[in-house]
Structure formats: structure tokens, C-alpha cells
Structure 1
């Protein structure tokens, strides 16, 4: 075999190895990002021009997130916020529009205390997606309902409150399950209490 043939063979072999490494490295990166971001990964694929752009953005989110000075809530703050959340949920029965607005504000308050920058909704969602990917779709849905607050019916507002509760619980580390009651459930409960009294 001539020297030229050996050089060509080595160059081809190196090119094949490089291509295989690039392909399998890309597959591993995609798998890692899909596992980290879950539904948010799919959301970015749908809204980005292609997979590479979507994955580059998700990688940039991770880098930005690593630079944030996030901190856990002190126990006293967690208890205080849990009490405030209970008040928000109780207010929903009589004032669903106001309760949803209060829920959004309480989520923002917790985010600020945890150290999240508040640079606008899309950036908030992007920052949250790194650690709380499972709740970001709901956070977006709640925000959309909140944006049309005056036109939203009570059931839509209830859905928004449930979504806000999900991100609130993730941010505070609260795992207690407290259902959001419908107005008719509260009325029936009050009637049963009055009947038994």
C-alpha cells in the first residue's frame, strides 16, 4: 500500500470517527436536555426554528441559571408564605379574579426572595424551567389566563390558581396537597354545616 493511500485511509477513518463522535455526542446532549427539561424541551422544539437552536437556548438557560444566586427559603418564610397561600385559596370562592392576581403576586414574591431575577415573564419562565421544568407549562397557562382575567370564567380562573399553586409549591418546597374548592362545593359544605347545627 502506498503512502498516499495510507494517508487517505487515515483521513477517511478520522473523518468517520469525528462524524460518529459528533452524532453520538449530539444524541447524548439531546437526551440529557430532554431529561432535564422534560415538557419544556418539547415546547422549545415546537417554537424554535430547529433542534439545534432549541438545544442551544436550553444550554444557555443552564449557564445563566448557574450564575444566579438562588437560595432556599428560611423555614419561617416558608410557613408565612404557606399561610398566605391558604388565604389566597380561601379568597377564591368570593373573589376568583382577585385571588388569581394575588396568587401570581405571591409566586413573584417567593421568586424574588429565592433570588430569581424578575426581568419579564418569558425570562422568568426560562429561569424557572431549569429547576422546575414540570411546572413551567402550567405557569405559562396561568399567566395567559391571568392576562385575560376580565374575560376568564370561574373554571378557567380555578385552573390558573391550580397552576400557580403547582409552581408555588415547587418554589417553597411545600408538598402538602390542598385542593382548590369550587364555589358550589363551598356553598354545599356551608349548607351541610348549617343543617347539622
Structure 2
């Protein structure tokens, strides 16, 4: 083979490798943007550049994959739903207490599912991997709860906090149910496969 042919082959290989790297880069960006939604934009605002923001989101995914998330049993889901209903009913007579209890119930549900409950920023970071679409609700509710602690939240603010807490609460409850059904389907497939042997 002539030197010109070898150089031509090397150039073609380098171009193909560069195209593959670029394609992978753009597909990753699209995947992160789709998965994290508003959290993608928040990461962009917080970081110096797009690559740093995307590295942060990939790191969140890596940390999230270490969690041992647990599905909720039907009885546990029902118990949480009843507690939520009780807290909502309490809002009419004691809005401040209801918001405090809503925050506690959401935190308890996170713990039940296997999310860490220490440190608000860590909670939000790990929740963003599966609950990015509802995480802004949690952020808003948390902000209002902090204002409530300082005595700066109106009754309308507290009502808004309850709506925001409910959105994340329902998402956590629903996702826990979906996980349980996925586990059940996986067990059914495994049982059928083992029975066929």
C-alpha cells in the first residue's frame, strides 16, 4: 500500500471516529435535556458552561443509581394517601400546621422510597433524576415553608405550598406504584420462564 493510501485511510478513520464522538455528544445532550427538563435549564444557569452543567447532571444520575429505591406496597400507598387527605382537611382550620405536616409527610415518603432525607439540596439533586418534571413544585413549596418559618407567608402562600407539595407527593406515590407493578411483571415473567424449563 502506498503512503498516500495509508494517509487517506487514516484520515477517513479519524473523520468517522470524530463523527461518532460528536453524534454521541449530541445524543447525550438531547437525552439529558429530555430527562431533566427544567432541571437542565437550572443546571445551565448555575454552571459556567453547558459541558459543566451536563457533567453535573450525569453525576446526579450516577449518584442516583447507587440508591436502593424501594417500591411501595399497596397498603403503604393507601396509608400515605389517607394521611395526605387528613392533612388537606386540616388545612382549613390550621394552615400553618398542615403545611408543616405536608412537608414532613413528603419527606417520610421520600425515605420510604429510599431517597436520602438529609440536606435539602441533596434531596432535590437526587429527586431530579426521576422527578424532574415535578421538582419545581417541591422547590416552590420548600421556599414557602422557609418563609412560613420566618412568619412571612400568607394563607394564600400556604395554600400554594400545599398544592406544590401535593404534586410531588402524588408523583412519588405514583412512581412507587409503577415500580411495584414493574417488579410484579418481572417476577411473573421469571416464574413463567422457570416453569417452561
* Structure-2-length-normalised TM-score: 0.81
What is the match of residue 160 of structure 1?
161
CA distance in 2: counterparts of 1:95 and 1:17, whole angstroms: 65
Cα displacement string for residues 99-155 of structure 1 (whole angstroms, at most 9, x for unaligned residues): 111100000011111111123001101111111111111111111111111201122
Partner-residue secondary structure (3-state), 2:86: helix
- Higher helix fraction: Structure 1 or Structure 2? 2
What is the match of residue 81 of structure 2?
82
Q: Cα 1:16–1:74, aligned 2, differ >3 Å: closer, same or farther? A: same
Structure 1 residue 2, shift from structure 2 partner: 5.8
What is the match of residue 185 of structure 1?
none
What are the ranges of 5 or more consecutive residues in structure 1 without an aligned counterpart? 175-197
CA distance in 1: counterparts of 2:5 and 2:147, whole angstroms: 69
Q: RMSD in angstroms over aligned alpha carbons?
A: 1.8
CA distance in 1: counterparts of 2:63 and 2:95, whole angstroms: 36
What is the match of residue 38 of structure 1?
37
What is the match of residue 133 of structure 2?
134
CA distance in 2: counterparts of 1:97 and 1:49, whole angstroms: 39
* Structure-1-length-normalised TM-score: 0.81
Partner-residue secondary structure (3-state), 1:128: helix
Structure 1 residue 26, shift from structure 2 partner: 0.8
CA distance in 2: counterparts of 1:160 and 1:49, whole angstroms: 31
- Max Rg structure: 1
CA distance in 2: counterparts of 1:20 and 1:82, whole angstroms: 51
Check if 1:143 corresponds to 2:142: yes
